[in-house]
A and B are shown apart, each in its own frame.
Chain A
Amino acid sequence: MATLNLTLKVWRQENAQAQGRIETYQAKNIPDEASFLEMLDIVNEELVHEGKEPIHFDHDCREGICGMCSLTINGVPHGGKKVTTCQLHMRQFKDGDTIWIEPFRAKAFPLLRDLIVDRSALDKIIAAGGFVDIRTGSAPNANNMPVRKKTADAAFDAAACIGCGACVASCKNSSAMLFTSAKAAHLNLLPQGYPEKNKRVLAMVRQMDALGFGNCTNQYECEAACPKGVSVDNIAKLNRDYMIACASEAIGVFS
Chain B
Amino acid sequence: MNDIITTACKFVTSSIGRKILVALTGACLLLFLVGHLAGNMTIYGTTAEGSWIDVYATGLHSMPAWLLWAIRLGLLAVFAVHVLLALVLKYENYNARTHYQKEGTLKATLSSRTMVITGVMILCFLLLHLWQLTLNGDPANCYEHVVRGFQNPVSSVAYIVAICCLFMHVRHGVQSVMQTLGLGTRKVRPLYNIVAVLFALVVCAGFISIPLAVLTGILH
Q: Do any beta carbons of A and B sit within 8 angstroms of each other in the complex?
A: yes
Chain A residues contacting B20 (CB-CB under 8 Å) are 239, 243
Distance, CA A72 to CA B101, complexed state (A)? 11
Tell me if A249 and B96 are in contact (CB < 8 A): no
Q: How many B residues, CB 8 Å from partner?
A: 48
Q: Is B3 an interface residue (CB 8 A)?
A: yes
Distance, CA A42 to CA B75, complexed state (A)? 63
Distance, CA A249 to CA B97, complexed state (A)? 32
Query: If the complex has contacts A75-B102, A217-B115, A240-B182, are A250 and B97 also in contact, measured as CB distance less than 8 A?
Result: no
Distance, CA A214 to CA B99, complexed state (A)? 13
Chain B residues contacting A236 (CB-CB under 8 Å) are 179-180, 182-185
Tell me if B92 and A214 are in contact (CB < 8 A): yes
Closest chain A residue, CB of each to CB of B5: A250
Chain A residues contacting B6 (CB-CB under 8 Å) are 250
Distance, CA A206 to CA B105, complexed state (A)? 28
Distance, CA A162 to CA B179, complexed state (A)? 24
Contact with B along A116-131 (1 / 0, CB 8 A): 0000000000000000
Of A102, A216, A246, the residue contacting B101 (CB under 8 A) is A102
Q: Is B100 an interface residue (CB 8 A)?
A: yes
Q: Is A212 an interface residue (CB 8 A)?
A: yes
In whole Å, how far is B212's beta carbon from the nearest beta carbon of chain A? 32
Tell me if B107 and A223 are in contact (CB < 8 A): yes
Q: Is B169 an interface residue (CB 8 A)?
A: no
Closest chain A residue, CB of each to CB of B113: A172
Of B18, B101, B179, the residue contacting A218 (CB under 8 A) is B179
Q: Is B156 an interface residue (CB 8 A)?
A: no
Tell me if A219 and B97 are in contact (CB < 8 A): no
Distance, CA A224 to CA B14, complexed state (A)? 25
Q: Is A26 an interface residue (CB 8 A)?
A: no
Within 8 A of A (CB), among B62-91: 89
Closest chain A residue, CB of each to CB of B95: A107
Interface range for A: 35 or more
Tell me if B106 and A243 are in contact (CB < 8 A): no
Query: If the complex has contacts A219-B107, A242-B17, are A75 and B100 also in contact, measured as CB distance less than 8 A?
Result: yes
Tell me if B105 and A221 are in contact (CB < 8 A): yes
Tell me if B96 and A212 are in contact (CB < 8 A): yes
Q: Is A178 an interface residue (CB 8 A)?
A: no
Q: Is B108 an interface residue (CB 8 A)?
A: yes
In the A-B complex, the 6 residue pairs with the smallest Cβ-Cβ separation, listed nearest first, are: A75-B104, A240-B182, A214-B96, A173-B93, A250-B7, A219-B108
Sampled A-B contacts (26; CB under 8 Å): A74-B102, A75-B102, A75-B103, A76-B105, A76-B106, A80-B104, A80-B106, A100-B101, A100-B102, A105-B99, A107-B95, A108-B96, A173-B97, A174-B93, A175-B93, A205-B14, A212-B96, A214-B97, A215-B92, A219-B107, A219-B108, A221-B108, A223-B107, A237-B182, A246-B17, A250-B6
